[in-house]
Structure 1
Amino acid sequence: MKGILYTGGELTDVVTFARLPVYLQTFLREQNGVVAYFGGLHLRGCVTTPAWHSLEVAWQGPTAFWRTYDEVLESDIPFAQDCVGNQFLLRGDAVLLLDTETGELADLEVDFKHFLFGVEKYPLDALGMEPLRGFQQQGGVLQPGQLLSVFPPLCIAINNGKVPELKAATVSERLAWLAGFYQKIKDLPDGQTIRLTGE
């Protein structure tokens, strides 16, 4: 992987580690999570701190994705996220992508190993890194523990063609905003007009 900003260090959460499939354990033994591609991909680790890097917090904590998103199961493992906070989940051996704005779940039709191969070969496409590239072209840099805040949200068709505002936000702030946005729009019909008042 390229553009590594952070590695997870020592395995300190052995309880979560023991619950993982063998192939994910093998990966995390070699590298206990990583922030790579200059923030384009964050693979979580089995750590007790920092909370933003903890697989256990994302999987079983009070703001775990299955507690918020209707399509996510408690058994789905949120092993990674992209630069804007969309989640990569393991369901059995399949990698799923959770769109954290809309709650839509897509089967990427790859297993963990082939997900990593795809990311290595085509990081820009596999990770949807266009917003991050735009942020970098404006001189922005994501730090470990940060995600890219995009406003208006990517799922909204903008009539006036305005370029979304991009800024760095902490992982917890960004994921909380996304969860709140999802809760507000999840029952609206397609094409519904909504008014945004800012992030």
Structure 2
Amino acid sequence: MPSALSKLVQVGGSALSPSLPSVEGWGKSIPSQLLSLLSLKNGFYAFESALHVFPSLPSGMQVDGRSAEEWNTPSLWRERFSELDPGYFFFAEDVFGDQFFISEDGIGVFRAETGEVEEVASSLESWAEVVLADFDLWAGYPIAHEWQKVNGELKAGMRLTPKIPFVVGGGYELCNLYAAEASKIMLFRADFSAQIRDLPDGATVKISVIE
């Protein structure tokens, strides 16, 4: 019987890199679990681009969007989340840019808008089972599908983000969503989550946009 990882790879689109995955990752070896996935297909989009698995690339090679190594570089966005565990290796994201990571404890998801972390599975194989069982929830497929019917295909490296953040009452309606480059979304959310972290539930939040 095919593994869940194999099934997930099969429903995904073309590999984002024709090369084999690199054995060296962000300051350390890429987790062996992730290499087992990327050896089947080195990065891909699935469920109409709702799920994005980053490819691993040797230094100097190029790909549309970001490689796993580049995405995990502290200076790109992650150092802006001061309380983020440095042991997390981010390998995939849903349509809203929530980040799946591998750690010593298993697989989790980082909700950047609030800075919260949620456990998902004990292994990458179990994570694939979870995603395949409910990709509407874990990848955001229905909204990805509806948004692209109206606005066209999401380009490489782009995710959907709300005009009014979800955590302060912004809806999941298409009129509240727009596409932006994923790292810019993460930088905005780092600043936003830091500003609301200590606010009590029900507090009034004023959002000011500064050019």
Structure-2 change in CA distance of 1:180 and 1:134 (3 Å): farther
Partner residue of 2:19?
10
Give the conservation status (yes or no) of the 8 Å contact 2:12–2:44. Answer: no
2:29 counterpart residue number: 19
Cα distance change, pair 189–134 in 1 and its aligned pair in 2 (3 A): farther
Once the two structures are aligned, what percentage of the paired residues are identical?
A: 24
Q: Is the 8 A contact 1:57 1:64 kept in 2?
A: no
Structure 1 residue ranges without an equivalent (≥5): none
**Aligned equivalents of 2:193, 2:148: Cα separation in 1:** 27
- The question of whether the paired residues in 2 share the 8 Å contact of 1:5 and 1:38 is answered with no
Deviation digits for residues 99-132 of structure 1 (CA, Å, limit 9, x no counterpart) = 0100001111442101112222321122233432
Output the aligned Cα RMSD: 2.7
Match of 1:78 among 90, 93, 110: 90
Any conservation in 1 of the 2:24–2:30 contact (CA below 8 Å)?
no
Unaligned runs of 5+ in 2: 1-7
Corresponding residue number in structure 2 for 1:149: 161
CA 1:51–1:141 in structure 2 vs 1: closer, same or farther (change >3 Å)?
closer
Q: Distance in 1 between matches of 2:206 and 2:77?
A: 28
Given that residues 101 and 178 in structure 1 are in contact (C-alpha distance below 8 angstroms), is that contact kept between their aligned partners in structure 2?
yes
Cα offsets for 1:158-194 (capped at 9, x unmatched): 5xx7945222212232222222222322232222111
Q: Check whether the contact 1:11–1:45 (CA below 8 A) recurs between aligned residues.
A: no
Counterpart secondary structure, 1:32: coil
Whole-angstrom distance in 2 between the partners of 1:145 and 1:104? 23
